[in-house]
Amino acid sequence: MDDLLKESDFVVLAVDLTPETTGLISHRELSLISQQHWSTSAENSAPCFKDFTLVMPAVAVGNVGQLAVDLMVSTLNMSRVGYMHTDCIIPMAGNNPYATCKEDVKELHTPAEVYTAAELKLAVLQIRAPIIQTKSKKFRQLLVSWIKASGFSRTVVLSSSHAYQRDDQQLQGTPLRYVVTPSLLKGSVDALKELGWRELERVAPFPGLTDANTEPCLYIPGGGITKGLYTDSCAEDLPLAVLLLFCSEGDNIPDAFTLVNHLNDWLHLLDTPSQKPNQWKIPTSWSLLFDPGLPNRC
């Protein structure tokens, strides 16, 4: 484990943050918990992520990746095994977003948590709060360090990009795109070819102002840390893929279904055909996505 990881506050626990385990900890005290203040129970051990696939969202336009991860956690009934404590994310706390009964609602949840489905060798890092812009690089370094130390076989970032900033070639065909690091491409060429996915097109840095000899670059407007994390992963030789959707802000629930179905075509998380959106279980927290409207009056 390298020095960066030792200095970070990325914590993986085998216990839940319930009212019983947190006691009377205030929100401020909770935000100050560090690595020295956690433990695991005797019957539980820290999870092992060796050869697991990690799926995580980028906080991007329409929150499409985050909504897609919500569908995964809720449908696959994934278990929470840890959380991330860092000053790179805006602090917050709330009730269980995947509650199925009144007892579950009381659980305390934090901005960045780790879930697993051991039978699928799948782990998910759900991020529920914006990343502080001035600490974006530090956050990416933290992620890369943890991914390397955990031994994930591959990482998939679910993201989105502004539809209105597409160039001419990106306006054609499906709004779904992918990009993979060289490390992952080595073992995924055949699978990607079979899927028939469309790779994200590189574009001119300054359209109309650069000559034909200028090398096109990766451009993901509205994608948050997506491009930076991809670039960092290339430099660290990490197997990472980005699946993204061109979209606009608004009701992005249909976009979330589109993206998670796209992922399912590759990872086969569900056995049923991915074209049936009702195979995914909508979490209870989604009832608060939009104002329910004025109450009916007699």
Whole-structure pTM value: 0.81
Query: Which pLDDT score is estimated for 208?
Result: 65
What residues does 180 pair with on adjacent strands? 241
Would you place residue 288 in the very low, low, confident or very high pLDDT band (cuts 50, 70, 90)?
Answer: confident
Residue, of 287 and 127, whose pLDDT is higher: 127
Cα 157 to Cα 262: distance, rounded to the nearest angstrom: 13
CA angle 63, 222, 200 (to 5 degrees): 100
Q: 3-class SS at 147?
A: helix
Measured CA to CA, the distance from residue 117 to residue 114 in angstroms comes to 11
Count other Cβ atoms within 10 Å, centred on residue 100. Answer: 13
Going from the N-terminus, what domains does the chain have, and what CATH number goes with each? 3-281 (3.40.50.10900)
The residues, any chain, with a CB within 8 Å of residue 82's CB and separated by 6 or more, are 11, 12, 13, 14, 47, 113, 114
Look at residue 40 and tell me whether its pLDDT is greater than 70. Answer: no
Q: What is the pLDDT of residue 238?
A: 96
**Residue 239, pLDDT above cutoff 60:** yes
Q: Which residue has the higher pLDDT, 253 or 292?
A: 253
Query: What is the CB neighbour count within 10 angstroms for residue 255?
Result: 24
C-alpha distances (whole Å) from 47 to each of 71, 125, 234 are 22, 14, 27
pLDDT digits (tens, 9 = 90+) for 118-133: 999 999 999 999 999 9
State how far the Cα of 81 lies from the Cα of 71, in Å rounded to an integer: 18
Q: What single letter denotes the amino acid at residue 12?
A: V
Q: Which residue has the higher pLDDT, 110 or 37?
A: 110
SS3 250: coil
Q: How confident is the model at residue 6 (pLDDT cuts 50, 70, 90)?
A: very low
pLDDT over 50 (residue 9): no
Average pLDDT over residues 77-106: 89
Question: Mean pLDDT throughout 132-142?
Answer: 96
Mean pLDDT of the residues in the chain: 82
